[in-house]
Structure 1
């Protein structure tokens, strides 16, 4: 199939948009601004355009595009504008678009039952058992507990508390360096609030301080790990596990801080969900988006969460029929 088609995967997250195009052994890549950088549909189309350009000349073969998008909050995506933009790039092929929890799952575990927590600027959990269940993914204002944004916001609040108590220190210094004098923060949050990505930018500093022995920073990371485990436990219980063990994988930028996140995450996960078996993620959400572009290995419950259209015909395709 690879010799007769071009496959493109797109991972649109809050912190960036990545695309990978493949044709046989050749690849093309693109990295652009994330969800908050521009119109999401435009970002997806431009990422595909850049990845195809980086791939170089290609024969007149079908182009199959798989997209995982943040900001859908578990709802079916509207794909008309993406489809229209892609039809200016390719003559024929297919487009599959799903919530980024689906592509995170496919990348981390593939087509098997289990649970995946994707934690970067935001966080979402998807569990696949007797049914599919999702937890969190409510966005920065309403949820994303334990995410990069949550860590950054917790650090800001702790720094403001230190300021109130007359306790200067490296955390307060970091917040001032990132956002300006703390006395001006209320007005800034009211008049020009920073994006979740900007707030999550403090995560690296909080990690460095935790490793250096800062008690407050370490407590923030410990709480983040426990919150992520709570969301996994909730999703698995609702999905109805189908085996004696439930593989659980973590993916996203937050899980690169394994020394800080994994101990509290694993301890809380095993306490709340004894049948959980933590496993390393096989791949990232971009890998999952590329798998979605194919569609042949997408389990039916996840395929039902995917909008699939033919780029040439411009009509919806029933995934359930295709996957029988």
Structure 2
């Protein structure tokens, strides 16, 4: 019995080590991959606008997307869905709340709320609608990806109102940049696989539902990039960037993070995700939009309320899952 417990404890320690190392690897690999892709795009003369609304906007969401995709494709769909929904709830309630607490006021403008806020809310509503119909499949994926295409078109059209010149001077793409991009992408895939493997292992040993691991451990872990960007932006009083980063990430997480995997496999819907997680995500998104719409600011007291709301949600979700 003693040796059995000792072996079990050692397995947990090893898995936690793998989880931590792979999480760092995922974030670093995503960072390298995005930087190199931007370099290649500039060298090829691709518009800064296109790079901004595609590569740069999606860059901080690559860890969540990679983890969700690998989870679904390797037979752990609950983990994948949990990463996406959990990350979005954490982004809105946790990251925006923390940014508001640190910076006293997160500011925005009505155009951002109308565009990013409404697209974020629309993506949640569409996903929830398809969840009500049963397992999420290819039809859902096509609709979600089409909506993301519309979102990109709106962003590009909006940007063209501010810039008259879109293309940069052409340059040469050196081999080092290409190799770095390939290594970054390879690292992202490999570390995401290890991350999912270790998360599943921890869930099995500790008898924790995969959805809970996805909703909290993986969701918060893979959102560290957004947290760093948002907090740094808030501390520098670049608050509009803080809000835009989070809203853009949430849109990408749902439309791409769920849309792409659902093209290949049917993703089952957990009842609690439908009656608790999705409504919570919808509610907290509407709340932030309301707070921001009234006076274009999210103050410290509202940030505290958002963080408190997230903690309450976490307690309720974990309690109901037991």
Same-fold call, TM > 0.5? no
TM-score normalized with structure 1 length:
0.27
Q: Which has the higher strand share?
A: 1
Structure number with the bigger relative contact order (C-alpha 8 A, sep ≥ 6) is: 2
Q: Which has the higher helix share?
A: 2
TM-score normalized with structure 2 length:
0.27
Which structure has the bigger radius of gyration?
1
